[in-house]
Amino acid sequence: MTSSHFLCHSPIFHPSPNIIENRSLSSFRSHGSSFFDSKSRNQRTPFVRLMVSARKQVEIVYNPDERINKLADEVDKEAAPVSRLTLFSPCKINVFLRITNKREDGFHDLASLFHVISLGDVIKFSLSPSKAQDRLSTNVPGVPLDDRNLIIKALNLYRKKTGSNNFFWIHLDKKVPTGAGLGGGSSNAATALWAANQFNGFLATEKELQEWSSEIGSDVPFFFSQGAAYCTGRGEVVQNIPPPLPLDLPMVLIKPQQACSTAEVYKRLQLDRTSKSDPVTLLEKISRNGISQDVCINDLEPPAFEVLPSLKRLKQRVLAASRGQYGAVFMSGSGSTIVGIGSPDPPQFVYDDDEYRDVFLSEANFLTREENNWYTEPASRSARGSSSQFSQSIE
């Protein structure tokens, strides 16, 4: 997290703690770093410097990391098990997704191979001395910071289940676009449950966290697998499996700015037009033979392509341009991310055509975790996208 700067002009300026306390992180961040000099650019601690000149110019440098660390120092004095924690919050893809039935409760039964991938957010948690509320900040505009956010929902759920009275300062460094079919919000919720359990001295088992997490969303329990799982029910029935594919198998993610409404996609789904392939057979084929176009079936593609016809055209163009570059090209979840498995590089037309100027692009590979350890952020990741891709966090 970088420090944030702004300049102001004032006859006399007396900074007080409330000046920084009451400004949102995003409002500081929006001023950028254009006023750094070479010395202050490398400054690691917050300071206020008064530069008295003819215009009485004042520079304030604010470092939110330092603020969170000071709060954690206060908690350290109370000998908490953990006072601060930084966790990677990876997203997922559906290697195949079969919709098998519509239930009486209005949900659909599915059968899918879920796999965690190396694209993800980073979430910083600090135990707050406050016993009243959590406080969430983020690096992108438009993300809800109240209990509409799945991170806050998860922390509320943990307190409800365990009786804990710990509250947190949280900073979400958002990298995963929303409305993408990648489960970024669900991963954030699972990561928050894991963090809360760390802070509270492991009041719950992993199995309990997984069971509780289904109250937040159908995709959340998956992230308590070891990274690869065969999921059924609404998605909340998670069967942990050995990774069926090489973890270093590269892929590229291409997501247009337009998102697909999950509700609208399911509304247009026609069960009599879905694939007849047995999902267990698909899993066996992938485990035995690897990735191929015929096993990467997604029953939500046809209705998603009705909702967003340009998405169908994007998939067709990627397939036509791949020339064997990708073992399979498919949509993840309910869209709107198109995944190309086999190469980290997008086809050239994505760079050349103005239509795709604002698409989100990222390379990735498969990712797993060890039991009793959370996912670890890869050493390097490459992603390109505009801030508007990340502006909604309700999934």
- List the catalytic residues: 92, 219
279: three-class secondary structure by DSSP: helix
- Residues facing 101 on adjacent strands: 109
Largest CA distance in the chain: 77
Q: CA dihedral defined by 25, 30, 31, 37, rounded to 10 degrees?
A: 80
What tokens appear for 219 in the block? Answer: 């995709």
Tell me the one-letter amino acid at 220: V
Cis check: omega of the bond before 24, within 30 degrees of 0 = no
The distance of Cα 235 from the centroid of its chain, to the nearest Å, equals 18
Task: Give 41's contacts (C-beta < 8 A, 6+ positions apart).
Answer: 33
Tell me the one-letter amino acid at 225: S
Quote the CA–CA distance of 295 and 277 in Å, as a whole number: 9
The distance of Cα 290 from the centroid of its chain, to the nearest Å, equals 27
What tokens appear for 203 in the block? Answer: 């009041």
Quote the CA–CA distance of 174 and 160 in Å, as a whole number: 27
Quote the CA–CA distance of 276 and 280 in Å, as a whole number: 12
Quote the CA–CA distance of 261 and 334 in Å, as a whole number: 8
Considering only CA atoms, give the Rg of the chain.
23
Q: Crossing angle for the helix pair 206-213 and 150-162, nearest 10 degrees?
A: 120
Residue 366: exposure state from Cβ atoms within 10 A (0-12, 13-18, ≥19): buried
Please state the φ and ψ torsions of residue 323, each to the nearest 5 degrees.
Answer: 50, 45
Quote the CA–CA distance of 170 and 122 in Å, as a whole number: 10
321, 348 contact by CB (below 8 A): yes
Quote the CA–CA distance of 336 and 392 in Å, as a whole number: 14
